[in-house]
């Protein structure tokens, strides 16, 4: 069932972080589960800031479109308003401080300009090429799934809910490096949708916007990825959560410690100072 949270909550992003690096999970979220002395919050990188800025502009536009659908009227946000949302979000994140690579830190004005330019460019691309494909009935829907037999609940925020489908906006650079169609996030959100509505969504669509720097200039492309939800995805998810809860309990009892995971060649970017805010103070970082 879905109700207000009463226990500690696991988010899809937490499960992903634990899979990527248990040590980073411990420092970022461990305090919520009695596994660490404090929450060590680190700033996002430029790529994440671009994504958040685009997401803000898309949500602004989709909220207006959603209201129009409810009123049976054609409504869409003016382009200048959508782009201003992206611009303001990017500027605000820059002012709040970001995790920068050495190259980005050496050229602050260029880095700031690139952040804002990409946020605006990708938001405009979505406005003209993706927004018409979406029929939102809810935007930024917060949810909590009560797991009766677990010491934690599941929670999250779904970007866009359509009548029978779920959508999430993603931004990435170059070739799409992540298999969005086999995402833990999608499985978690599909479960939430099933428990609330009694039905599986027909599909989970990742609206992936890909940015590229080319010799002829900058380019944005749309590379959607779709997962077809299936009931068989849920037992492995719940088994993982059960084992994770058992591991947490053993850590609290002093019977286990968080392991250091060596990333594969394809995911080595996870353990770099340009990506991980804990890299500089981690005694297990990869520095070669």
Residue range 174-208, pLDDT digits in tens = 765 567 767 889 999 999 999 999 999 999 999 99
121 falls within a domain: yes
The predicted-structure confidence for 44-84, as pLDDT tens digits, reads as follows 999 999 999 999 999 999 999 999 888 877 788 999 999 99
pLDDT at 69: 84
DSSP state for residue 151 in the 8-state scheme:
S
65 falls within a domain: yes
For the full predicted model, state whether its pTM sits above 0.85: yes
- 16 is written with which tokens? 């992903």
Q: How many domains, in total, are found in the chain?
A: 1
53 falls within a domain: yes
pLDDT at 6: 66
CA distances from 192 to 189, 200, 284 (A): 5, 9, 36
61 falls within a domain: yes
89 falls within a domain: yes
d(CA 189, CA 191): 5
- 254 is written with which tokens? 């002093």
Residue 23 φ/ψ, nearest 5 degrees: -65, -40
pLDDT at 64: 95
66 falls within a domain: yes
Q: Is the pLDDT of residue 214 over 80?
A: yes
Q: What is the 3-state composition of the chain as percent helix, strand, coil, each rounded to the nearest 5?
A: 50, 20, 30
Name the residue among 91, 92, 112, 88 with its Cα closest to residue 100. 112
pLDDT at 182: 77
Q: What angle do CA 187, 178, 112 make, to 5 degrees?
A: 115
pLDDT at 55: 98
193 falls within a domain: no
Which residue range is the domain that position 67 belongs to?
43-136
């Amino acid at each position: 069932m879905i109700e207000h949270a009463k226990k500690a909550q696991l988010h899809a992003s937490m499960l992903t972080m634990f899979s990527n690096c248990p040590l980073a999970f411990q420092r970022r979220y461990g305090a919520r589960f009695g596994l660490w002395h404090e929450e060590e919050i680190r700033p996002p990188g430029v790529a994440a800031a671009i994504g958040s800025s685009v997401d803000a502009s898309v949500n602004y536009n989709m909220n207006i479109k959603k209201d129009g659908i409810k009123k049976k009227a054609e409504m869409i946000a003016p382009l200048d308003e959508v782009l201003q949302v992206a611009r303001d979000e990017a500027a605000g994140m820059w002012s709040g401080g970001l995790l920068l690579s050495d190259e980005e830190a050496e050229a602050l004005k260029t880095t700031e300009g690139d952040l804002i330019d990409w946020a605006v460019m990708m938001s405009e691309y979505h406005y003209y090429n993706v927004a018409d494909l979406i029929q939102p009935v809810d935007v930024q829907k917060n949810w909590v799934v009560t797991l009766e037999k677990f010491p934690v609940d599941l929670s999250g925020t779904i970007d866009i809910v359509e009548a029978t489908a779920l959508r999430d906006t993603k931004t990435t650079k170059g070739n799409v490096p992540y298999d969005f169609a086999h995402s833990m996030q999608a499985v978690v959100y599909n479960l939430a949708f099933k428990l609330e509505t009694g039905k599986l969504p027909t599909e989970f669509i990742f609206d992936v916007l890909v940015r590229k720097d080319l010799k002829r200039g900058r380019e944005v492309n749309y590379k959607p990825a779709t997962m077809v939800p299936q009931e068989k995805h849920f037992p492995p998810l719940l088994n993982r959560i059960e084992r994770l809860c058992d591991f947490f309990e053993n850590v609290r009892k002093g019977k286990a410690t968080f392991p250091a995971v060596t990333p594969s060649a394809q995911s080595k970017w996870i353990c770099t100072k340009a990506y991980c805010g804990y890299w500089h103070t981690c005694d297990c970082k990869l520095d070669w």
